[in-house]
Amino acid sequence: MRDRTVGTTRRRPVQKRSVERFERLLDACAELLDEVGYVALTTKEVAGRAEVPIGTLYQFFSDKEGLIGALAARNLDAFLERVSTRLEHERPADVSGIVEVTVDEFVTMRRTITGFGVVDFGAVGRDHTLDPALDNNTAVARRLRELTATLTGIRDDTDLEFVLRVALECADSVLKLAFLTDSQGDPRLIAECKRVLDSYLNDRIRSSTTS
């Protein structure tokens, strides 16, 4: 069933001035998420903080959900770029190395990126922030599949997406607990998250590549 709360980005800016305004709106949205939270956030406050006319905001975004969706998409793009850069530089030899890089980059963003603790790749309670046709973790798994397919050795793209989807659910739960326990992320829980993912992914990839 299609999520009726999903907003849209009306248009992507092309001209430099429009791009700057678009990014200012997303920056303002992230700041206000940290200050007032998702529920209290309004498009009027975002436009005011960004010093952009409210009409300009609605040229880019259909509503608050569209604004949040664009911020989540920007966060995901930044995350994947960070992971990709590290993977290319470090060239991990096994799944454990990929898990280490991926979890570390998420934790770093959670600690340092404004608004990321409220909206990382999707708003709490909104399962279709990134894509109206996919729940958030499936959308993220699809992007991760594209990034890691050649590294994992799994030949079936559908199987890899399913495995990554399950891994994301596990990571989501443990990392949320880690940051609930400690504002910087409980080191023991972060380490346990890596251990769980490492065990699960190695087991599934081993069975997939030998079947």
Residue 11 covered by a domain: no
Domain count for the chain? 1
| Helix or strand holding residue 196 (H, E) | helix 187-210
Q: What is the structure's pLDDT at 8?
A: 57
Q: What is the structure's pLDDT at 173?
A: 95
Task: Indicate which CATH number applies to the domain containing 117.
Answer: 1.10.357.10
Residue 133 structural domain:
16-210
- pTM of the predicted protein model: 0.89
DSSP letter for 14, please: -
Please choose, from the candidates 62, 69, 55, 82, the residue with its C-alpha nearest in 3D space to the C-alpha of residue 26: 69
Residue 4 covered by a domain: no
CA angle (161, 38, 53) in 5-degree steps: 110
Please choose, from the candidates 120, 114, 113, 130, the residue with its C-alpha nearest in 3D space to the C-alpha of residue 65: 130
Which residue(s) pair with 123 in the sheet?
A: 119
Q: What is the structure's pLDDT at 33?
A: 97
Q: What is the structure's pLDDT at 156?
A: 62
Q: Cα–Cα distance between 74 and 72 in angstroms, integer? A: 5
Residue 91 covered by a domain: yes
Residue 3 covered by a domain: no
Residue 197 covered by a domain: yes
Confirm if 101 and 94 have CB atoms less than 8 A apart: no
pLDDT tens digits in sequence order for the chain, 211 residues long: 233 334 456 567 668 889 999 999 999 999 999 999 999 999 999 999 999 999 999 999 999 999 999 999 999 999 999 999 999 999 988 889 999 999 999 999 999 999 999 999 987 777 878 888 888 999 999 999 888 876 666 656 778 889 999 999 999 999 999 999 999 999 999 999 999 999 999 998 777 655 5
Residue 1 covered by a domain: no
Residue 80 covered by a domain: yes
Residue 5 covered by a domain: no
Q: What is the structure's pLDDT at 1?
A: 27
Please choose, from the candidates 198, 200, 197, 202, the residue with its C-alpha nearest in 3D space to the C-alpha of residue 172: 197
